[in-house]
Amino acid sequence: MDEQDVVKALAALAQPVRLKVFRALVVTGDAGLTPGTMAEGLDMPANTLSFHLKELVNAGLVTQERASRNLIYRAAYGRMNALLGYLTENCCQGASCALPAASTPSCC
């Protein structure tokens, strides 16, 4: 993943509604969700959801597939993992990221 792709992905996730939508898709897994199910579950208007899904698809974080008359949206796990990999690539200058037991859990 190059820097421009990382910035685009992070910009897409830097909006509260899009972050909420993306997290819902991550939790759902490979089955994905239809827009109607998402709109109902997230309690948001369909047109608002559609706008935010478009932004997530454009950032490559969400995929869209047609299944007969429905659209199914899924988190793009490969892209998500590439983003996380980019962010942690040089974590702790190559040393272990483990923190002392009294600290919060390690990031890596």
**Distance separating alpha carbons of residues 67 and 33, to the nearest angstrom:** 11
86: exposed, middle or buried (Cβ count in 10 Å: 0-12, 13-18, 19+): middle
pLDDT digits (tens, 9 = 90+) for 69-101: 999 999 999 999 999 989 988 777 767 666 555
Q: Is the pLDDT of residue 60 over 60?
A: yes
pLDDT of residue 90: 78
Q: Which of 29-38, 51-60, 62-71, 93-102 has the lowest mean pLDDT?
A: 93-102
| Predicted TM-score (pTM) above 0.85 | no
SS3 46: helix
More confidently predicted of 89 and 15: 15
DSSP-derived letter for residue 33 is B
* Band of residue 2 on the pLDDT scale cut at 50, 70, 90: very high
In the chain, the percentage of residues whose pLDDT exceeds 90 is: 76
Q: Domains in the chain and their CATH numbers?
A: 3-94 (1.10.10.10)
**Confidence class of residue 105 from pLDDT cuts 50, 70 and 90?**
very low
Within its chain, how far is the Cα of 12 from the centroid? 9
